[in-house]
Amino acid sequence: MAKKTIDQIEVSGNTVLMRVDFNVPLDENQAITDDRRIRMALPSIQSVINRGGRLILMSHLGRPAGEGFEQKFSLAPAASRLGELLGSKVVMASDTVGEDAEAKAKSLADGEVLVLENLRFNAGEKKGCSEFAGKLAAMADAYCNDAFGTCHRSDASMVAVPEAMASKPRVVGHLVAKEIQYLTDAIGNPARPFVAILGGAKVSDKINVINNLLGICDAVLIGGAMAYTFSLAKDGQVGDSLVEKDKVDLAKELISKGGDKLHLPVDTHCGDDFGNIAGCNKQVVAAGEIPDGWEGMDVGPETAAKYAAVIKDAKTVVWNGPMGVFEKPPMDAGTKAVAQAVADSDAISIIGGGDSAAAVDQLGFADQVSHVSTGGGASLAMLEGQRFAAVDLLDDSDA
């Protein structure tokens, strides 16, 4: 069932506690190198402050030890950037649930924004601690989840806080609502043919996704380094390619289950020095015929053409994981060909975060797909068919 959104509740004169994903990349000088996650939260933020609400934002950044403040993981740069984007002052707390945060939360005026310090400076966040969550919950009159990237986690800010606010409005933000709509519709009621493209390094990372999608999709296209584990399962030669030998039996089961739905590469672009892709020797060989001393680094041109032909006829496409070492030409050719095919298709196209999102953005196709997910792990979990407690416990829409 659809969840109630931030636009559907009264916020004027009330304080909203909003979980956002400000886990932005920082350089050595703590300057933000990509502010996309902050910009994508703006519609939900503006929905509150433009209607006279008081807004408290909470997020994590990086992986601090959970033992107190660490300068390199401070959310201060994110708060500063948010202020620039909003064109107004954003207040920054020096702690999360301490005296400074509580005092600044109480003194907020209508239309003002407070950013709490990094949630993970407190060990209670990762532990899902109810006491920590209770202190956060006490600051506000309503809760909003707009952090899709952590929706599959049981962190305190995602589950224990809305549990502690059961008597108050608990809603989704614009970003989470959009993510859920795209991914739920794709899995539950896809326009067909429904094609999934799965790449990346390890079969083990995608076992549940492949299993689930083989029961839903019309075609599942496999690329990336995990293709070599499938190749080994078919008694192929993989040279020095990255493989998971302990997953060969599993790959055999997936091949058997997949039948004609499971599409594996028919050729491989390989090189003899992964550390020097630009300068090493390269060749294209048939799948399963990679010589010793050589390493598969991308799907070959015949595979790229075959995959593009399948994608051309698709009505729904979900893509998670690149076809090869997309960061380093010429081993970006397979990923580029697939991205071009997705961009050129008439399909509803959903790019599942992480490296896939980076590849589509880097190759210039981000504006030509339907949706680029902000959460790699969360989108994978949805493709596996998981339910999210962080979303399930929010208020259902009356509409």
At residue 354, the pLDDT reads 73
Report whether pLDDT(399) > 70: no
Q: Please determine whether the domains at 6-175 and 190-383 fall in the same fold group of CATH.
A: yes
What is the model's pLDDT at position 330?
94
Mean pLDDT of 265-280: 96
The tokens of 374 are what? 């902000």
CATH superfamily for domain 190-383: Phosphoglycerate kinase, N-terminal domain (3.40.50.1260)
Residue scoring higher pLDDT (208 or 285):
285
Q: 13-22, 54-63, 376-385: lowest mean pLDDT where?
A: 376-385
Chain mean position to CA 325: 19
Domain boundaries in the chain?
A: 6-175, 190-383
What pLDDT shows up at residue 398?
Answer: 83
* Of residues 360 and 292, more confidently modeled: 292
Residue 385: pLDDT band by 50, 70, 90 thresholds?
confident
Long-range contacts of 383-389 (CB under 8 A, 24+ apart): 383/183, 383/187, 383/196, 383/209, 383/212, 383/213, 383/318, 383/320, 383/352, 384/208, 384/209, 384/212, 385/187, 385/208, 385/212, 386/152, 388/151, 388/152, 389/154, 389/158, 389/159
Report the 3 state secondary structure along the chain. Answer: CCECEHHHCCCCCCEEEEECCCCCCECCCCCECCCHHHHHHHHHHHHHHCCCCEEEEECCCCCCCCECCCHHHCCHHHHHHHHHHHCCCEEECCCCCCHHHHHHHHCCCCCCEEECCCHHHEHHHHHCCHHHHHHHHCCCCEEEECCHHHCCCCCCCCCHHHHHCCCCCEEECHHHHHHHHHHHHHHHCCCCCEEEEECCCCHHHHHHHHHHHHCCCCEEEECCCHHHHHHHHCCCEECCCCCCHHHHHHHHHHHHHHHHHEECCCEEEEECCHHHCCCCCEEEEECCEECCCCEEEEECHHHHHHHHHHHHCCCEEEEECCCCCCCCCCCCHHHHHHHHHHHHCCCEEEECCHHHHHHHHHCCCHHHCCEECCCHHHHHHHHCCCCCHHHHCCCECCC
Above 80 in pLDDT, residue 82? yes
Q: For residue 383, what pLDDT is reported?
A: 83
Residues labelled as active-site residues = 37, 202, 354, 377
Answer whether residue 353 shows pLDDT above 70.
no
pLDDT in tens, 167-204: 999 999 999 999 888 888 778 889 999 999 999 888 88
Q: Is the predicted pLDDT of residue 376 greater than 80, yes or no?
A: no
Q: What is the pLDDT of residue 151?
A: 93
Judged against a pLDDT cut of 90, whether residue 222 lies above it is answered with yes
pLDDT number for residue 182: 84
Amino acid at 181: Q
Superfamily for 6-175? Phosphoglycerate kinase, N-terminal domain (3.40.50.1260)
